[in-house]
A and B are shown apart, each in its own frame.
Chain A
Amino acid sequence: MATASSSGLSSVLHGGVDTIVARATPAGRGALAVIRVSGPETAAVAQRVCPEVDTGSGWRAGLATLRGASGETLETAVVVAFPGPRSYTGEDMLEVTLHGSPYLVEAVIDAFVAAGARRAGPGEFTRRAVANGKLDLVQAEAVQDLIRADVAWQVRLAREQLAGTLSRRFAEVRSALVCLLASLEASLDFAERDVVVEPGVLERQHDRCRGLVEELLATASAGARIRDGVRVVILGGPNTGKSTLFNNLCGSERAIVSPHPGTTRDVLEAELDLEGVRMVIQDTAGLRSGGDEVEKEGRRRAVGAAASAAVVLLLWPTDAGEGEEAPETPSGVAVLRVRSKADLAAGDPLNDGWLAVSCYTGEGLEALRERLVRLVAGEIADLGGEVAIAERHRRALEQAMTELEACDLSRPELAAEGVRWALRAVQEMTGEVDSDEVLDGVFSAFCIGK
Chain B
Amino acid sequence: MGELKADVVVVGAGHAGCEAAAAAARMGSAVVLVTLHRETVAQMPCNPAMGGIGKGHLIAELDALGGLQGWAADRAGIQFKILNRSRGPAVWGPRAQCDKEIYGRLMLRLMEGLPGVTLVEGEVEGLLLEDGCIYGVRLEGGVRIEAPAVILTTGTFLGGLLHTGEDRRPGGRFGERPSTGLGGELTRLGLELRRFKTGTPPRLAKASLDLERLDVQKGDPEPRPFSWRTRAVRNRCVCWVTRTPPEVRAIIRENLHRSPLFAGAIDGVGPRYCPSIEDKVVRFPHHESHTIFLEPEGVNSGSIYVNGLSTSLPQDVQERVVRTVPGLEGAAFLRYGYAVEYDVVAPRQVTRRLECREVPGLYLAGQLLGTSGYEEAAALGLLAGINAVHGLRGEEPFVPGREDAYLGVLVDDVCGREHREPYRMFTSRAEHRLLLGVDSARERLMAEGRRLSLVPERAFHVEQERWRKRRLARTVLEEARINPNAATRERVRRVAGVELSSPSSWAQVLRRHDVDAENVAAALSELEGLTAEDRRIVVGMLRYDGYLARHEHERERLRRMRHIPIPADLDPASIPGLSREVAEALEVEQPQTIADAERLPGITPAALAILTGRIARGGGGE
Contact = CB atoms under 8 A, between A and B. Distances in A.
B408 to A, nearest CB: 14
A436 B52 CA distance: 20
A449 B88 contact: no
A29 B272 CA distance: 63
Interface in B155-209: 201
A137 B576 CA distance: 6
A422 B280 CA distance: 33
A450 B431 contact: no
A434 interface: yes
Contacts of A439: 272-273, 426, 428
B576 A138 contact: yes
A430 B431 contact: no
Contact of A450 (B54, B308, B419, B579): B308
A176 B280 CA distance: 25
A13 B610 CA distance: 19
Nearest to B283: A447
Interface of B: 47, 52-54, 83-84, 86-88, 90-91, 93, 201, 241, 272-275, 280, 283-284, 287, 290-291, 293, 307-308, 310, 417, 419, 426-429, 431, 433-434, 513, 544, 547, 571-574, 576-580, 583-584, 587-588, 604, 606-607, 609-610, 613, 621-622
A432 B610 contact: yes
B431 A431 contact: no
Contacts of B609: 424, 427
Nearest to B95: A191
Nearest to B572: A13
A429 B578 CA distance: 10
A192 B573 contact: no
Of residues A130, A131, A191, A424, which shows the largest number of chain B Cβ atoms within 10 Å of its Cβ? A191
Given A185-B427, A429-B577, A431-B577, 11 more contacts: A4-B580, A9-B583, A13-B572, A13-B584, A191-B52, A193-B241, A413-B90, A413-B434, A435-B428, A439-B272, A448-B272
Contacts of B431: 420
A13 B580 contact: no
A375 B572 CA distance: 44
Contacts of A131: 573
Contacts of A137: 576-577
A123 interface: yes
A411 B88 contact: yes
Interface of A is mostly: helix
Interface string A161-186: 00000000000000000000000010
A435 B571 CA distance: 26
12 contacts: A2-B583, A122-B621, A137-B577, A189-B91, A191-B53, A192-B84, A413-B90, A427-B577, A427-B606, A429-B577, A434-B604, A435-B429
Contacts of B583: 2, 9, 13
Nearest to A406: B546
A300 to B, nearest CB: 37
Interface in A98-140: 121-123, 127, 130-131, 137-138, 140
A349 B583 CA distance: 65
Given A137-B577, A413-B87, A12 B290 contact: no
A413 B621 contact: no
Given A2-B580, A130-B573, A432 B308 contact: no
Interface in A1-53: 2, 4, 9, 12-13
Nearest to A188: B91
Contacts of A447: 275, 280, 283-284, 287, 290
A241 B284 CA distance: 74
Contacts of A408: 513
B79 to A, nearest CB: 14
B53 A412 contact: no
A191 B287 CA distance: 19
3 interchain residue pairs of minimum CB distance: A432-B606, A185-B428, A428-B577
Contacts of A412: 87
Nearest to A15: B587
A123 B622 contact: yes
A193 B243 CA distance: 12
Given A431-B579, A432-B579, A450-B310, A443 B272 contact: yes
Contacts of A4: 580
Given A436-B419, A447-B290, A449-B274, A9 B576 contact: no
Contacts of A438: 428
Given A439-B428, A450-B310, A2 B91 contact: no
Contacts of B293: 193, 450
A49 B284 CA distance: 64
B86 A192 contact: yes
A192 B52 CA distance: 12
B578 A2 contact: yes
Contacts, number: 146
B274 A450 contact: yes
Nearest to A411: B88
A417 interface: yes
A406 to B, nearest CB: 10
Contacts of B291: 193-194
A432 B576 contact: no
A433 interface: yes
A414 interface: yes
A427 B607 CA distance: 9
A188 B427 contact: yes
A413 B433 contact: yes
Contacts of A343: none
B85 to A, nearest CB: 9
A209 B419 CA distance: 29
A207 interface: no
A180 to B, nearest CB: 13
B310 A123 contact: no
A449 B579 contact: no
Of residues A9, A138, A449, which shows the largest number of chain B Cβ atoms within 10 Å of its Cβ? A449
A190 interface: yes
A403 to B, nearest CB: 11
A141 interface: yes
A188 B621 contact: no
Contacts of B241: 193
B422 to A, nearest CB: 13
Contact of A189 (B88, B90, B427, B576): B427
Contacts of B88: 411, 413-414
A185 B354 CA distance: 29
Nearest to A194: B291
Nearest to B295: A450
A123 B426 contact: no
B87 A188 contact: yes
A12 B587 contact: yes
A430 B290 CA distance: 37
Contacts of A13: 571-573, 583-584, 587
B87 A123 contact: no
A428 B287 CA distance: 39
Contact of B607 (A127, A411, A432): A432
B577 A443 contact: no
Contact of A9 (B580, B610, B613): B580
A121 B622 CA distance: 9
Nearest to B609: A424
Contact of B434 (A417, A428, A442, A443): A417
A436 B417 CA distance: 10
B273 A428 contact: no
A16 B130 CA distance: 37
Nearest to A420: B431
Of residues B573, B580, B588, which shows the largest number of chain A Cβ atoms within 10 Å of its Cβ? B573
A53 to B, nearest CB: 31
A131 B580 CA distance: 9
Contact of B273 (A141, A187, A191, A449): A449
